[in-house]
Structures are given as C-alpha cells and as structure tokens.
A and B are shown apart, each in its own frame.
Chain A
Amino acid sequence: MEDFIEELKRKIIDTLELADLRPEDIPTDGVLIGSELGLDSIDVLELVMMIEKDYGVKIENREVGARVFGSVRSLAVYIDGHCRRAGK
C-alpha cells in the first residue's frame, strides 16, 4: 500500500502540474483538498479523470468524491478496493 501511495502522489503531481512539489511534500493522511497545497474542486475532477483512465475506477458523483479525496490514503484505499473487486 505504501508503494501505491507513493505512485499516487507522483501521479497527482504530474496530473495537476505541481511542478514545485515533491511526493514527500504531499501528506499521506492530511487533508488533500483546500489545504495549503492550493488544490480545489477542479483538481479533484482532474484526478477523477486520471483515476478512471489509469485504474479503471469511476468516481461518478461529488458526494462519493468528497469522501474519497479526504486524503491520499483514503484515495489509495478506495482505488485499491475497487480494483480488487473488479479483479484488476
């Protein structure tokens, strides 16, 4: 799981063009959106697209999104769980 979290952080940096951030700058359990990282609802939707494309996991509405994007760990757990369920 820790490797997957690291992978997700790199993808977050690439997808959102956070050029001046390194993976260790993103907290694993801290708040991801609305924190000093400067990420907002559009970034969430951009990540929704990346997750569907790269992992085949859909996050189709904002209510689910709000829960899943609580932290990088919650995101990793959600993706991991759905990949397993789909046998991917």
Chain B
Amino acid sequence: MKGIRAFVCGAGVVNAAGIGLEKTWEALRNEESCLKPLSIFAVSHVPAPPAGEIGEALPLNGAVPRTHSLALLAAREALSAASLLPDAIVLGGTTGGISTTETLLESGETRPDTYRYHALGSVATYLARHLKCQGPVIAVSTACSSGTAALKIALEMIRRGQARIVLAGGADALSRLTYYGFHSLQLIDPAGARPFDLQRRGLTVAEGAAFLLLVGAEEPPEGALAELVGAGLSCDAHHPAAPHPEGAGARAAMQKALSDAGMTVGEVDYINLHGTGTVDNDRAEARAIRDLFEDPPPLSSIKGIFGHALGAAGAIEAVASVLCIARGFVPANVGCSVPDTGLGLQPLLHGQSGKIGAVLSNSFGFGGNNAALVLADPSRLAETFEKCPHAVIPAKAGIQKALNLLDSRLHGNDKLDHSGEIQRSFSGNGGQRKIMQFSVLGTACLTGAGSTDETLGTFRRGGALRGRPDLGTIRTDLSAASLRRLRRLSRMTLILAREAQKAAGMAETAGSPGGIYFGTGWGPLTETSDFLDQLFASAGQFTSPTDFIGSVHNAPASQAAIRLKATGPNITATGGDYSFEQALLSAALITKEGDDPVLVIAADEHHDRLSPRLDPFSAADGGAAFFLRPLASATGLRLVPAFLSYVPEGEDGIPPLIEALGGSGRICKRFGAVFAGIPASTRARGEACVASFLRRTGFTGVIFDYRCVTGEFSGASAIAAVLAVDVVSRGVFPPHLSGKGKAALEGKGILLLGLGEYVTAIEVIQ
C-alpha cells in the first residue's frame, strides 16, 4: 500500500474581499486592493489607515466574538461542497475572542460568563461543537504562521492515520490589540501594504478566516481541488519580533516543505510570498528565496489585496493557492508599483494564466516561527485523473468512494503486537509515518511548592503543591539580562526549558532540542493586561511594543528557542485545560524516528485581574517541561500520547478512549493507577467520565484526582505528568495514593486522563 495522501476536497474563505471563494477569486483576478480605511473601531490616528476589514455585511452571531463567527462561516463553506463532517479540526489563530474582551474590560465588566469565549482554544471548540466533530481538535498559535502550521499538523494527522477528514485553517478578527500593537512597532504602512515595493513602509492589518477540507486517500477523489503534498516548520531562534536578517529560518522552512513533498525547487511553478510589506520581512524572505532558488518561479504576495490577516493569513493564502492550481492562474503582487531592485526578485505585476502544477506558500511569524507548504495539482501523478478545471464542488460520492477504498485497505490493521502494545499505525504505511512515542530524558516543574526538587520532595511526603511558584526564590543559571523584558509566563517557560535540558544531562550550548512544543491555556496574561491598560488609559496614544510582542501566545516558546538555539519546529498549542495534551500530540505528529530530542513544555500564569474573569476556578500557576526522544517504539520510561478528542455535550467520551487504549483487558493489565484531571469548570462531566471508565473497564487500581494536589489551573496536567513519571520510575506510591489500599505500582504504568469537555489520555509506562 502506498502512503496516505491529503487531498483538498473543499475550501472556504472570508476576508476583505467578502464572504466565499468566488469573492476571493474575483479580487485575485481583478488585481484590485480590497483595503479601506479602518472603521470597525475608532482609532487615535487621523486619517485612519487602511485595513482589511471584511468587505460586506456579516451574518454575525452576537453571542460569540467576531473571530468565532468568521471561523464558522469559512468552515461551513469548506464543508458544504462535499457535505462531509470532519473527524478532526486544526485551527490556527492569534487572538481568539480578544476583540470582545477589549470591550468588556474597558467597560469594567467582571462576570466570568461574559468572557467565556476569550480563549483562542474556544474558537476550535466552538467549531467542533457546531460541526459535530468528535475527534482530535487542536488550536495552534504561532503568530502570523498559525494557519500554515495548522495545515502541517492536519497533514500529519492524515498521513499517520489519526484522522481521515480534517478541517484545517485559521481565523483572526481585527482587534485593537493587534492594530495598536503593530502601530507601536512602527510596522503599519499609512498608505496600505506595498509588498516588495521600493517605498514599502509596513503591513496592513486585516481579518479573515479560511479552511481547507483535507481528505486522506491513496488516489485523488473525483473532483479534488489540490493535494497538500508537504509542509515544513522552522524557528529563527534569533529575535522575538524581527526576522533573521539573512532569512535562514525562512529558507529552512521552504527547504523542509519541499523535501517533505519529495519535490525539487525546479518543480515549483509559483511562490505565494509571505510578503507583508515590512522592510525587514520582504528583505529576509527575498534573501531566502534567492539562496534557495537559482532561477525563482513567478512569485507574488497577495497581502496588498487582502492585507495581513495574521493567524488566518496562511490559510487564506493556502485557499488562494488551491484556486491557482484548480483554475490555472497566478495573481499579481498588488500594491507594488516600483519593485525594490535591492531585493533581487521581480514580483508579478500582473496575473498570469496557465497550468500550475505546484505552489509553495510561505508564512513567517513573530518569534521566528516559520512555516511553508506545498500544494500541488492532484492529477500530476495519475494520467487517468479527470480534473475539473473550474469546479469547486467535488462530488461527495467520489470522496466517499476514496474513503471506503482506504477503509477496506486499513480494516483490521490496528493490531496488538506480541508484547500487548498497540501498533498505532496503518500497516504498510512505513514506520516513519506513525505517531511517535517519547522516551523521557529529563523533566522539570514549577509549582506552589517551588522547583522540581522541592515539588517532588513535597509530593513524596504527601504534601500539596498548589499555589504559585515564587520566581524570586527559584534558582536558575539564567542571567538577569536574559530575563529582562520577560514577564511571568515567559520567565517560567524559560526556567522550565533550561531545567529540563539540565535534567536530561545536556549543556545549554550543546543540547539544543530538535523542536519546542509549548502548551498554554491563556497565553501571557501580564503583557496582555498591561498593553490594554495602557491603551485604554492613554486613549490609544501610548502602547508598549515590548508588551505587544510579549503578549502573543508563542512568545514564551520563541524565547526558549532563542535561549536554547532551537531552530526546529516551534509550535504553541492552546486548548484550555488540555493544552499540554495538544502540545504533546503535536510533537508526536510532527517528529519522525531519528529526530533530535524535543522539548515539550506547558505553563500558565495566574493574573490577579484577568484570571478571575477568564478562568474563575484558577487558583494556582506554574508548569512543567519534558526533554523527550521521539521513537516509534520507545523503550524505558516513556510518554505515549494515546488519545485526544472533543466530546459533544451529552455524549460519553469513554468508549472510544477505551478502544484507543487497546480495550479493558490491556488497561487493567498495563496500568496500576489513573491520574484523573477533572477541571473544576466541568466537574460533573469529569466525574461522570470516571464513573463510565470504571464501569466499562472494571479497573480496580488507584484513581488519583490530582488537581486536589497540583491546584486548579490549565497547566495542571503537565505537572501531573511529571508526578506520574516520578511514581513510575520509583515504583512506589506517595501517601496521597497508598492511602487508597495499594502501596506500589508492581511494574505497571500510570494512565494520565483529562476528563471534561475533552477526553484525553497519556500513557506513562516503563
């Protein structure tokens, strides 16, 4: 059997051109800018600069923030063509419900219920709820490359048999945080974005949402629009906001995408540039392209047409790239009238029609989080495939046929091997493609009890860990200069990264991780709060660039990358109480056998003003980090991300969990304890899950309701994983657990469950 390929069988988009694919297509064909003076909120700058606001009246749902509405509009269009429901969702974004939060905070609103859609992860959950998706849901936030990074994760879900139909893309609405933030960085061009132009002065903020519906099949389903053939991720590890001056990270991402696609530079027919219009981005990107391509193909940025929709931009441009392939056209670099000859590249000043076999699309974000993807004509490998050049409606029957064919080939191939461990891969799909497990090389944590040693000492004595670590007393070899400008979440993350690296026996300079995967439920709250406070107090006159750069969810992970010189993938996942689980799953999807060890970190900060509004049960903070070696068949002490699924209200998420874990027999034989993570906000659902689990499995081991010990906050599961690793490696229960009738694990492992709106499982086994 050949590998599973990811075909684009639907696409949806909302942006400055309006709602729907055809509006975007017209804008691309007409070569006209859709940018207009910003009107969605009043700004202190006169005249208001151009922005990429949605170009028509929106059927908004007033009950949810604008980002959520945009996301659902685009998602529905992507699904409508094939009338399929996704079995996984991967969403990229940067700000979630911030536009609503800004208004609420300004008005002094304190009721937590009004802030319930603040979190970026809530956009992904909102989609899952409305699209009836019971399966893996991940929200990824890598600043302006979020939508592209989401597509990489979706691609790997399909290749590695974790899902067959994945909805992936990005969504971001305009907000004051991002508008004033880019303004404080002097990165907004008052004349509107002019990518690659000699006079360019910056970007144009925009909003939008876009999704691709990816279907896993061996051969293109009838009417497939394109194939996502490869994607690459890298990190500059250079600066929190400015790109690497020589475009080293940008080049690495493009190279990885091409190699992932099994293609050479000569096979690329068009490059969709990141091309924001900032002096530095365009220079670094041009340098990277010149270094990689001896003779670059036609290229253009479409941000002069739609603006820069941040986390949605990569997804919007992926949709545009799909249209280029399906309809044989490449768009003009609108906004550029006199190309900057210093860049050494000639962007397309007018669109061109012709066959497009493959497109390389670039996205680069703050923190040097780079992503590139390659989309190709689905018919390029099959002589007999009938492409419908102007179709955007693939036949549902054709997709169903391809899925059925795949099913019949795969049926029964998830089997237990002789050791009783599940081989989580499709047979014949190549060992490299399966989801990775991780050998634990080192762990670290920060809790109310203090550092890793203090935490484990307290835990072994039966003490509680809840509270907030006093960072002033935590010993670290990080210099004061390296912690300057960093607030609580970034500081904790940097300390955790360094401590996990040390625990793995790695020197700071010699042990760069192959990638960093970070989970955070709320992102940097201090910077967000400080930025908005200053914005409101000065009526938009003074806002701090340091706070803006520090406020993005991926700031902590990119700081860790700079410090540890980690130039591999740098992914930040944000899924509320399941953020650590999403980060670990992302790592398992992206890494391959033989890759360098990776750092997986999860942390959250408690903020005295914001936490009571956003997460009213939160009473602690801290986090944990793991230095992990990815292995298809890990040995020794290991973490196995075994299950992650959104569970619609009223459904029991436990039966699919038991199935994924290999059945009741294996669960009882393999695990001596369950560490149950039950978020206080969904206590009743979580307890029902425990009851269902016990009833269905007959499990008689210890159930440890660990949030009583770790304290209540969204990073608690990462700390619980460190505790589980400690218990499994020592084999002895601490007093919290031995009081429940058993004293030791007897060689068994621990099952770390997340139980509530999502059901998750991580195996900690030896």
Contact = CB atoms under 8 A, between A and B. Distances in A.
A40 B279 contact: no
Given A41-B242, A42-B241, A45-B185, 17 more contacts: A16-B484, A16-B485, A17-B485, A20-B481, A38-B484, A40-B239, A42-B185, A42-B545, A42-B546, A45-B545, A48-B186, A49-B543, A49-B544, A52-B542, A61-B186, A61-B201, A65-B186
A55 B484 CA distance: 25
A54 to B, nearest CB: 11
Q: Classify chain A's interface size.
A: 10 to 19
A45 B239 contact: no
B549 interface: yes
B184 interface: yes
Contacts of B186: 45, 48, 60-62, 65
A42 B240 contact: yes
26 contacts: A16-B484, A16-B485, A17-B484, A18-B484, A19-B480, A19-B484, A20-B480, A20-B481, A38-B481, A38-B484, A40-B242, A41-B241, A42-B240, A45-B545, A46-B544, A46-B545, A46-B546, A48-B186, A49-B542, A49-B544, A49-B545, A52-B541, A52-B542, A53-B542, A62-B279, A65-B186
Nearest to B550: A42
Contacts of B240: 42
Interface residues of B, number: 20
A42 B279 contact: no
A57 to B, nearest CB: 13
A49 B549 CA distance: 15
Contacts of B239: 40
A65 B184 CA distance: 13
Interface of B: 184-186, 201, 239-242, 279, 480-481, 484-485, 541-546, 549
A52 B545 CA distance: 14
Q: Which 6 A-B pairs have the closest CB atoms?
A: A45-B545, A49-B542, A46-B546, A42-B545, A17-B484, A53-B542
Interface in A4-58: 16-20, 38, 40-42, 45-46, 48-49, 52-53
Contacts of A40: 239, 242
A62 B185 CA distance: 9
Nearest to B549: A42
A59 B17 CA distance: 34
A61 B430 CA distance: 54
Given A52-B542, A53-B542, A61-B201, A45 B184 contact: yes
A61 B549 CA distance: 18
Nearest to B486: A17
Contacts of A65: 186
A65 B185 CA distance: 12
Interface in A57-76: 60-62, 65
B242 A49 contact: no
A38 B201 CA distance: 26
A62 B186 CA distance: 7
Nearest to A37: B481
Nearest to A46: B546
A73 to B, nearest CB: 23
Contacts of B544: 46, 49
A69 to B, nearest CB: 13
A17 B550 CA distance: 15
A50 B545 CA distance: 11
B546 to A, nearest CB: 5
A16 B480 CA distance: 13
Given A40-B239, A42-B241, A62-B279, A49 B184 contact: yes
B201 A42 contact: no
Given A49-B184, A62-B186, A42 B542 contact: no
A49 B242 CA distance: 19
A38 B544 CA distance: 19
Contacts of A48: 186
Contacts of B185: 42, 45
B484 to A, nearest CB: 6
A41 B280 CA distance: 12
Contacts of B279: 62
Contacts of B546: 42, 46
A56 B241 CA distance: 27
A20, A38, A41, A60: residue with the most chain B Cβ atoms closer than 10 Å: A41
Contact of B485 (A20, A42, A52, A53): A42
Nearest to B278: A62
Contacts of B549: 42
A46 B184 CA distance: 8
A20 B546 CA distance: 19
B203 to A, nearest CB: 14
A24 to B, nearest CB: 18
Contacts of A16: 484-485
Contacts of A46: 544-546
Contacts of A17: 484-485
B276 to A, nearest CB: 15
B591 to A, nearest CB: 32
Contacts of B542: 49, 52-53
Contacts of A41: 241-242
A64 B665 CA distance: 71
Nearest to B547: A46
A41 B546 CA distance: 10
A48 B480 CA distance: 24
Contacts of B184: 45, 49
A41 B245 CA distance: 13
A17, A38, A40, A45: residue with the most chain B Cβ atoms closer than 10 Å: A45
A38 B562 CA distance: 14
A21 B117 CA distance: 43
A45 B240 CA distance: 14
Contacts of A60: 186
Nearest to B184: A45
A56 B648 CA distance: 55
Nearest to B484: A17
A27 B69 CA distance: 53
A40 B549 CA distance: 13
Nearest to A50: B542
A17 B185 CA distance: 19
A10 to B, nearest CB: 17
B410 to A, nearest CB: 50
A53 B543 CA distance: 11
